[in-house]
Amino acid sequence: MTDIDIDFEVEQKPRKFVSQWFLPILFKPRKTLTEIAEKEHAVWIAPLLALMVTALILVLVSSPMPGLSSQATSQPEMYEYYSPEQQQQYQEAVNMGVSPVVTIVFPLAGKFLGIWVGWILLGSILHLSLTLNGSRSSNRSALNIVAWSSVPFLIRDVVQIIAILATKQLILQPGLSGFIAEGATGFISFLAAFLAFFDLYLIWQIVLIGMGAMKISGLKAGKAWLATLIAVVIFMILKALPGFVMVQLNGLSPTRMFF
């Protein structure tokens, strides 16, 4: 009796955590984006987790700074004429601003939420924009491209971490928002919130997204880049709205809260 060996082809489960593209996406973007575009499954986990790690480090490095600034801040005018109850309320408000919940938990939650919601939102808008321009690519492909195109922000986080450790100061006016005078109101304050996201790293990301959009969409370069720019502008407007609201609420200083 002859034994017949039957080789069963075992289908390997697609790897969702792919880490070998971190350096290639920076130095060989065309080749790397082509490989990412060819994936029919989700490969976005690694860059988003890396962004969460650098965000955690950035928040931990930044957390002592509000305490240092509050110690250096002088008391309000005529503080000595406040009643004991008013002085206690003022000190409690100041101490509330440097509590771990305010300096670590809230900023970290905001950054984590921004990473994931921003990724989903930009990826979905990019997919819609490409579809309206004639592409038949999947939403998963757009999400993969957007996730890996965010790798330059890892470099930005590292640069900010080094800057904060070296200067012992927070970066209060990031991006191009430094060209807007402090205390601006109305549309100018919205423009400041909008420009706060514009820097070399954002331009780097846009270039990567545009290159990736051409790979996944099959569109001509002009249409792919137009769809990319439209998606990014819409996303940046939506992203600037929370910052604009916070600027409007920033006038609630500790003294105004109680007096």
> Tens of pLDDT along 81-97?
455 665 555 555 555 55
> How high is the pLDDT of residue 10?
41
> How high is the pLDDT of residue 198?
82
> How high is the pLDDT of residue 69?
47
Under 8 Å between Cβ of 55 and 112: yes
Distance set, CA 162 to CA 1, 57, 156, 167 (Å): 73, 11, 10, 9
Q: What is the pTM of this model?
A: 0.79
Under 8 Å between Cβ of 144 and 41: no
Under 8 Å between Cβ of 45 and 17: yes
State pLDDT tens for residues 115-167. Answer: 999 999 999 999 999 999 999 999 999 999 999 999 999 999 999 999 999 98
Domain segments of the chain as ranges = 28-73+80-258
All residue ranges of the chain with pLDDT < 50 are 1-11, 68-73, 81, 251-259
Under 8 Å between Cβ of 186 and 247: no
> How high is the pLDDT of residue 254?
35
> How high is the pLDDT of residue 125?
97
> How high is the pLDDT of residue 253?
39
Tracing tokens 């890996």 back to the chain, one arrives at 148
For residue 103, the tally of other CB atoms under 10 A from its CB is: 19
